[in-house]
A and B are shown apart, each in its own frame.
Chain A
Amino acid sequence: MTGRRFDAMVIGGGLVGSAIAWGLRREGLSVALLDEGDAAFRASRGNFGLVWVQSKGLGAPWYQRWTRQSAESWPGLADDLAKQNGLSLGLSQPGGLHLCLSDREMNKRAERLEQMKREAGNYGFEYRMLDAREARDLLPGLGPAVVGASFTPYDGHVSPLALLRSRHQGFTALGGVYLPNVKITGIATAPRNFLLETNLGTIQAERAVLAAGLGNAKLAPHFGLKAPVRPQRGQVLVTERTRAALPMPTTTIRQTGEGSIMLGDSVEEVGFDTRQSQPVMAEIAHRAALCFPWIGRLNVVRAWSALRVMSPDGLPIYD
């Protein structure tokens, strides 16, 4: 395959890239979706699966607003995708809790959410600080170590893997060209004419979308852009399936549609290193067992570490 030409090419086949590629294809463009191979970093595969509002956009009201709007458009999106692919994304938005294990954590949390409410202005921001008893009513089985929680009704969760599959499936079904195992060896840009030299031959398009996650940091300068993103490691533990139900997700614990309980979410600045570290895994497990002693009795059947795509200030980059 040499010298293929498209209306648009999207570099990166994760959740962002495949969604954009799908959208462009739906608008009738010929689209190539360029992806890495099986062993890529792929933040999409490591994602925890929260559709989360209550922690997003402190000090950045615009980001808080977008997050809310984005969460609100999720049910429509999930319905659409289910209709197209017959695949449930397991979306559930019952609201969510952030659990606090000390009075200090509780006070800090209250201050933070009060600030978000202030910054939301007329857009509004509904939240409640719950004492231990109120939190226990919402989440039976909370441990005695939990002193309280914050609640917002906007939060929820979804299966990121089902979403990824649905996107790839949908894009291919619409006639998009999915090109995995691509290695870019050269880039040449001109107005409305972007050309990539790759191991699959030359790929050319009028429009290019950079959705390569951490790869964007290196790609962007070739296109006259800046994307100073860095890797931030997060580790996740997953338990065996259980019938005991967790009615709503918390910031670090959620139950999947299959019944597994996912435990997260750690933050480590260790560069491009996806190894696991036992102390961090133990800390995640420790905190989870404190929050829900019954989770302590479940087996961890899977665990992983993956890299978040983080901007310098943790906010979206708009150039």
Chain B
Amino acid sequence: MNLVPVKAPQAPRKFDLAIVGAGPSGMAAAIAAREFGLSVLVVDENAAPGGQVFRAAELAGADPALARDMAPGLELIARFRALDVTYRPGATLWMLDPDTGTLSLSCLNETMEFVAERILLATGAQERPVPIPGWTLPGVMSAGAAQIALKTAGMVPSGRVVLAGQGPLMWLLANQLIRAGVMPVLVETRTQPILRTALEQGGIFSGFAQLTKGIGLILKARQSGMRVISGARHLRAEGAARVQSLRFEGGFEPCDTLLLHEGVIPSTHISMAIGLEHFWDARQLCWRPRLDVFGASTHARIAVAGDGAVIGGWEAAVASGQLAALDAAFRLGRMAQAARDFQAEASADALLQARTLRPFLDALYAPSHEILAPPEESTIICRCEEVTAGSLRWAAAIGATGPNQAKAYLRCGMGPCQGRLCGPTVAAVIAETRNVPVEEVGHFRPRAPYKPITVQELAGAQHGADRLS
């Protein structure tokens, strides 16, 4: 093995706006930014645009199980595809320097760098962890995982399928599975009454269209003959080498695949790693970056849009992406403030409209305490390092006041997922043990590389001229 010079390092290409994520908000921001004449870079980890909601829509659009849900995405994707932007699919952002605007990407085992005046994080949402006993057993997956399998490959779980948990996605997935020829059993963990929650939270009139759609999904699934078990508590996945059944208080449901879901939260891994200020959203029970109405963060170069800013669904994501693009044009001197504000009105209205039902949904599907902070000592919280709830409680008792100290004691959050999945649970268990609010406990401090890259790739980031051969 010798060091052989292959290519000379070159200065990174510069853009007015770099967008991280090609989901609804990223695509909408790119479309708007091009209208204002900005040069745009879009980087995305997936092979095709669409984000998670319209994942692989160009393939899935013709699938009768998904066609109606993918339709709005196809239109957006087509407009995005037609844009004159630099689009890098299959690229992982592993480091972002907000001060210099440098994005370090890994694409097919090569690192590359780009520089941008403004950077929009449109990294979307992730499912909340569902740490019930047995959730690491093969055959137990998140509901979103099954949906992605359906969207990307048209595949469905075979055998007995149980959906367990709560949230709009559960009903949507149930319908999609039924259309795809799979009849699941739904074990719902919802504890909040629908009618009272609706009256308390409001929004049901202005959000009537969304509400109708949601109720339609529920009715449709029930009419198709799907069995629904309501108010399930103390869920546990059971089985030897793989899941064989779901047990809950007063019930038992044999299954070959168990799909869990308790709602979604913003993916804040990168926004936290670059040091943006975040705050605890007590309604959505998650951390969120502190942003202004245009999505501008506490760092002058960075904005956040879409579900990575606040959970609102794809229509809200589109509107927030447009607002961020307007603000980028203004900050880059391509648009007067008055013009920005004038043009912003339509998107701001759309955003408001899209979010109108959120308080109701957030309240209705608020996860129970046992999901946030699993009571059973042996339940695994950190799937990577296999750290249990019991050991976390012990760590909190001997002095871990927050996730970072708990990580030092126990290694929770030290595995390859870097605490993406266990972060919320670690914080909630510490908060419960120390009897303080979660916001006081804090969160993990993520670090670059945001996703694993090889030592050699990292070396290549600086020594572009050298390759180990």
Shortest CB-to-CB span from A257 to chain B, Å, is 11
Given A288-B455, A303-B448, answer yes or no on A172-B399 (Cβ-Cβ < 8 Å).
yes
Query: How would residues 385 to 406 of chain B score, 1 for a CB under 8 Å from any chain A CB and 0 otherwise?
Result: 0000000000000111111110
Query: How would residues 73 to 97 of chain A score, 1 for a CB under 8 Å from any chain B CB and 0 otherwise?
Result: 0000000000000000000000000
Q: Which residues of B contact A244 (CB under 8 A)?
A: none
Asked whether any CB of chain A lies closer than 8 Å to the CB of B428, the reply is no
| Cβ B459 vs Cβ A297 within 8 A | no
Asked whether any CB of chain A lies closer than 8 Å to the CB of B3, the reply is yes
Shortest CB-to-CB span from A278 to chain B, Å, is 6
Asked whether any CB of chain B lies closer than 8 Å to the CB of A131, the reply is no
Interface 9-mer from B68-76, B161-169, B324-332, B407-415: B407-415
| Cβ A299 vs Cβ B454 within 8 A | yes
A214 and B415 alpha carbons, distance in the complex (Å): 29
Given A161-B409, A278-B104, answer yes or no on A300-B449 (Cβ-Cβ < 8 Å).
yes
Interface 9-mer from B35-43, B291-299, B339-347, B461-469: B461-469
| Cβ A301 vs Cβ B445 within 8 A | no
Query: How would residues 253 to 269 of chain A score, 1 for a CB under 8 Å from any chain B CB and 0 otherwise?
Result: 00000100001000000
Chain B interface, >50% SS class:
mixed
Quick one: which of B398, B453, B462 contacts A172, CB cutoff 8 A?
Answer: B398
Query: How would residues 266 to 290 of chain A score, 1 for a CB under 8 Å from any chain B CB and 0 otherwise?
Result: 0000000001101101110110111
Kindly identify, within residues 137 to 152 of chain A, every residue whose CB is under 8 Å from any CB belonging to chain B.
143-145
| Cβ B399 vs Cβ A178 within 8 A | yes
A298 and B459 alpha carbons, distance in the complex (Å): 12
Q: Which residues of B contact A161 (CB under 8 A)?
A: 408-409, 411
Interface 9-mer from A4-12, A118-126, A163-171, A188-196: A163-171
Shortest CB-to-CB span from B299 to chain A, Å, is 12
Quick one: which of A143, A258, A301 contacts B416, CB cutoff 8 A?
Answer: A301
Q: Which residues of A contact B468 (CB under 8 A)?
A: 289, 293, 296
Q: Which residues of A contact B456 (CB under 8 A)?
A: 285, 289, 296-297
| Cβ A278 vs Cβ B95 within 8 A | yes
Q: Which residues of B contact A286 (CB under 8 A)?
A: 459, 462-463, 466
Query: How would residues 411 to 439 of chain B score, 1 for a CB under 8 Å from any chain A CB and 0 otherwise?
Result: 10011101000000000000000000000
Asked whether any CB of chain B lies closer than 8 Å to the CB of A239, the reply is yes
| Cβ A37 vs Cβ B1 within 8 A | no
Asked whether any CB of chain A lies closer than 8 Å to the CB of B458, the reply is yes
Q: Which residue of A lies closest to B384 (CB)?
A: A301
Shortest CB-to-CB span from A214 to chain B, Å, is 17
| Cβ A169 vs Cβ B408 within 8 A | no
Asked whether any CB of chain A lies closer than 8 Å to the CB of B442, the reply is yes
Q: Which residue of A lies closest to B462 (CB)?
A: A282
Given A144-B1, A169-B398, answer yes or no on A298-B102 (Cβ-Cβ < 8 Å).
no
| Cβ B401 vs Cβ A38 within 8 A | yes
Per the CB 8 Å criterion, the residue count for chain A at the interface is 47
Asked whether any CB of chain A lies closer than 8 Å to the CB of B275, the reply is yes
Asked whether any CB of chain A lies closer than 8 Å to the CB of B447, the reply is yes
Asked whether any CB of chain B lies closer than 8 Å to the CB of A155, the reply is no
Q: Which residues of B contact A283 (CB under 8 A)?
A: 462
Q: Which of A143, A276, A285, A305 has the most CB of B within 10 A?
A: A285
| Cβ B454 vs Cβ A298 within 8 A | yes
Asked whether any CB of chain B lies closer than 8 Å to the CB of A156, the reply is no
Q: Which of B400, B418, B448 has the most CB of A within 10 A?
A: B448
Shortest CB-to-CB span from B274 to chain A, Å, is 9
A155 and B231 alpha carbons, distance in the complex (Å): 60
Q: Which size bracket describes the interface of B in this complex?
A: 35 or more
Quick one: which of A263, A279, A281 contacts B448, CB cutoff 8 A?
Answer: A281
Quick one: which of A45, A178, A258, A301 contacts B452, CB cutoff 8 A?
Answer: A301
The number of residue pairs between A and B whose CB atoms lie closer than 8 Å in the complex comes to: 124
Asked whether any CB of chain A lies closer than 8 Å to the CB of B277, the reply is no
Q: Which of B3, B409, B456, B468 has the most CB of A within 10 A?
A: B456
Q: Which residues of A contact B442 (CB under 8 A)?
A: 37-39
Asked whether any CB of chain A lies closer than 8 Å to the CB of B2, the reply is yes
Q: Which residue of A lies closest to B430 (CB)?
A: A38
| Cβ A285 vs Cβ B408 within 8 A | no
| Cβ A299 vs Cβ B453 within 8 A | yes
Q: Which residues of A contact B102 (CB under 8 A)?
A: 278
| Cβ B409 vs Cβ A165 within 8 A | yes
| Cβ A237 vs Cβ B3 within 8 A | no
A281 and B456 alpha carbons, distance in the complex (Å): 11
Asked whether any CB of chain A lies closer than 8 Å to the CB of B376, the reply is no
Q: Which of B402, B418, B441 has the most CB of A within 10 A?
A: B402
Asked whether any CB of chain A lies closer than 8 Å to the CB of B84, the reply is no
Query: How would residues 101 to 133 of chain B score, 1 for a CB under 8 Å from any chain A CB and 0 otherwise?
Result: 010100000000000000000000000000000
| Cβ A278 vs Cβ B97 within 8 A | yes
Q: Which residue of B lies closest to A295 (CB)?
A: B455
Q: Which residue of B lies closest to A288 (CB)?
A: B455
| Cβ B461 vs Cβ A278 within 8 A | yes
| Cβ A293 vs Cβ B445 within 8 A | no
Q: Which residues of B contact A305 (CB under 8 A)?
A: 447
A39 and B1 alpha carbons, distance in the complex (Å): 43
Q: Which residues of B contact A282 (CB under 8 A)?
A: 458-463
Q: Which of A263, A276, A278 has the most CB of B within 10 A?
A: A278
Quick one: which of B401, B418, B452, B459 contacts A181, CB cutoff 8 A?
Answer: B401
| Cβ B404 vs Cβ A38 within 8 A | yes
Asked whether any CB of chain B lies closer than 8 Å to the CB of A304, the reply is yes
Shortest CB-to-CB span from B250 to chain A, Å, is 40
Kindly identify, within residues 229 to 262 of chain A, every residue whose CB is under 8 Å from any CB belonging to chain B.
237, 239-240, 258
Given A165-B409, A301-B452, answer yes or no on A281-B447 (Cβ-Cβ < 8 Å).
no
20 residue pairs bridging A and B, Cβ less than 8 Å apart: A38-B404, A38-B441, A143-B1, A145-B3, A161-B408, A172-B398, A172-B399, A237-B458, A239-B455, A240-B452, A276-B447, A278-B97, A278-B462, A281-B458, A285-B458, A297-B454, A300-B449, A300-B453, A302-B447, A303-B449
Give the 10 A-B residue pairs with the shortest CB-CB distance, closest first.
Answer: A38-B402, A282-B462, A299-B452, A296-B456, A286-B459, A285-B458, A285-B459, A165-B409, A282-B461, A180-B401
Given A39-B404, A276-B447, A300-B455, 15 more A-B residue pairs with CB atoms under 8 Å apart are A37-B401, A143-B1, A240-B452, A275-B275, A278-B95, A278-B104, A282-B463, A285-B461, A293-B1, A295-B455, A296-B459, A298-B455, A300-B453, A300-B458, A301-B416
